[in-house]
Amino acid sequence: MVRRGKAAVHEPTTARGQRTRQKLLDGAEEIFGEEGFERASIAAITGRAEVALGTFYVYFPNKQAIFSELLIELGRALRRRLAEATRGLDTRLAVEEAGCLAFLEFVQSHKNFYRIVRQAEFVDEALYRSYYQGLAKSYAEGLAAAVEGDEIADLDPETVAYMLMGIFDFIGMRWVLWEGQLPPEKLLQDVFRFIRGGLLRAPGGR
């Protein structure tokens, strides 16, 4: 058992248990995205996951617990995807461009991502804040290293992290969520050009 706030969730140790738990999370991602937290039911989640209703309670005590766990898992998956996409890149600007595209591809593959994250503010506000703080923390660490290496302007890393997250979030909403596709290449290049102009050091100093 692992404590998540007031709830305890079961993390299985067998491959079969892990598959069942993942099926429940996948079903929850679809149902919460389609119906919203208030209308979603445990029966709908287990039906979508093709898992017996009673099995749900082996892993999660209630609907809020699986919602919270889903948000945690989405955050972890997104950070893994960003790390994979930027591994080995030798400039901060290359990291920004690869990270932006990786984020957009991630939300394209998780069509209910935006709705689930937005709902989290009202379902579990502390976890909602933790979700963004976790993303910003690792982001700011990379930006701080680039500042120390005189690669980018001497700006507050946490503030810049939230600004860039905001850019990527709204570009994703405008194109991936509303249009169902990645932004046109010309638009992406405009985004990268804007970011380069804001991050680069002025000649001769910070």
Q: How far apart are CA 92 and CA 140, in angstroms?
A: 12
Number of other CB atoms surrounding residue 84 within 10 Å: 11
Q: pLDDT tens for residues 8-52?
A: 677 888 999 999 999 999 999 999 999 999 999 999 999 999 999
Judged by DSSP in three states, 8 sits in strand
Rounded to the nearest integer, the mean pLDDT of the chain is: 93
Sketch out the chain's domains with CATH numbers. 2-199 (1.10.357.10)
pLDDT of residue 75: 95
pLDDT digits (tens, 9 = 90+) for 118-150: 999 999 999 999 999 999 999 999 999 999 999
61, two tokens: 């005590």
Place of tokens 């404590």: 3
Q: What is the pLDDT of residue 79?
A: 95
